[in-house]
């Protein structure tokens, strides 16, 4: 599994490297708490994590737990993730092979709060997951066309999204908000609110 924080670049631009580093530290804590069975956090690159397991059911449980944990976290970012099953080659703590490349491409297609997987991953679940086709995709630099599947519907966010830094906000705890075109937007900070008020059209189209 490869899982990325959605909106990490926007958050880094809005709040700087120190805030981004603090958020990643929290992310790793959540990842560690989400691991099921033999799942192992193998590598972190920026806000992206690579998790390995010999068990597809354990990996699915881990993905679901991590998705729920991050989606429920106030002042945080949700994930998007890609799951694929196949052989990997490990040398000097680095991963090689098409399995890693495919998982990365699938992750990049997934949207906020969404977990997508390949047919080979579903096959290893042995009927433990009900999958819906998400369509066929030509993955970058990979010759074979892949049909991707959604094992769960994307999590319906009870939290709202700060349109500037993309951080999740619990509206019931928010004291920073403004209205634009009859829609109320909530913010994590005065700076984000003021940046939005100065150029609202710049930010609204970025939030998905």
pLDDT by residue (tens digit) across 97-139?
A: 889 989 999 999 999 889 999 999 999 987 666 778 888 988 8
pLDDT at 172: 85
Q: Tokens for 81?
A: 């993730």
The pLDDT mean for the chain works out to: 89
| 182-198: average pLDDT | 93
What domain range includes position 173? Answer: 160-204
Kind and range of the H or E run holding 58: helix 56-71
In this structure, the answer to whether residues 35 and 53 fall within a common structural domain is: yes
In this structure, the answer to whether residues 184 and 143 fall within a common structural domain is: no
pLDDT at 139: 83
In this structure, the answer to whether residues 129 and 192 fall within a common structural domain is: no
Which one has a higher pLDDT value, 207 or 52?
52
Q: Is residue 155 part of a domain?
A: no
In this structure, the answer to whether residues 136 and 189 fall within a common structural domain is: no
pLDDT at 26: 95
| 42-51: average pLDDT | 93
User: Coil, strand, or helix at residue 160?
Assistant: strand
User: Rounded to whole angstroms, how far apart are CA atoms 197 and 174?
Assistant: 17
Is the per-residue pLDDT at 166 higher than 70? yes
Q: Please answer whether residues 177 and 193 qualify as being in contact, where contact means their C-beta atoms are separated by less than 8 angstroms.
A: yes
| 43-67: average pLDDT | 93
Comparing 2-6, 98-102, 136-140, 204-208, the range with the smallest average pLDDT is: 204-208
Q: Is residue 29 part of a domain?
A: yes
Tens-digit pLDDT profile for residues 65-99: 999 999 888 889 999 999 999 998 988 888 888 89
Residue with tokens 């998982």: 103
């Amino acid at each position: 599994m490869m899982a990325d924080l959605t909106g990490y670049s926007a958050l880094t631009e809005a709040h700087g490297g120190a805030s981004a580093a603090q958020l990643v530290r929290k992310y790793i804590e959540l990842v560690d708490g989400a691991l099921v069975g033999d799942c192992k956090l193998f590598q972190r690159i920026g806000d992206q994590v690579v998790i390995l397991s010999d068990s597809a059911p354990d990996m699915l449980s881990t993905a679901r737990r991590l998705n729920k944990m991050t989606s429920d976290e106030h002042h945080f970012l949700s994930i998007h993730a890609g799951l694929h099953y196949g052989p990997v080659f490990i040398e000097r703590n680095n991963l090689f092979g098409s399995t890693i490349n495919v998982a990365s491409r699938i992750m990049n297609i997934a949207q906020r709060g969404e977990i997508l997987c390949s047919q080979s991953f579903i096959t290893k679940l042995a009927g433990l997951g009900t999958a819906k086709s998400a369509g066929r995709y030509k993955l970058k630099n990979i010759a074979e066309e892949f049909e991707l599947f959604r094992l769960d519907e994307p999590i319906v966010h009870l939290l709202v999204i700060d349109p500037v830094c993309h951080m999740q906000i619990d509206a019931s705890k928010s004291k920073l908000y403004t209205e634009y075109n009859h829609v109320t937007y909530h913010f994590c900070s005065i700076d984000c609110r003021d940046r939005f008020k100065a150029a609202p059209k710049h930010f609204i189209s970025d939030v998905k």
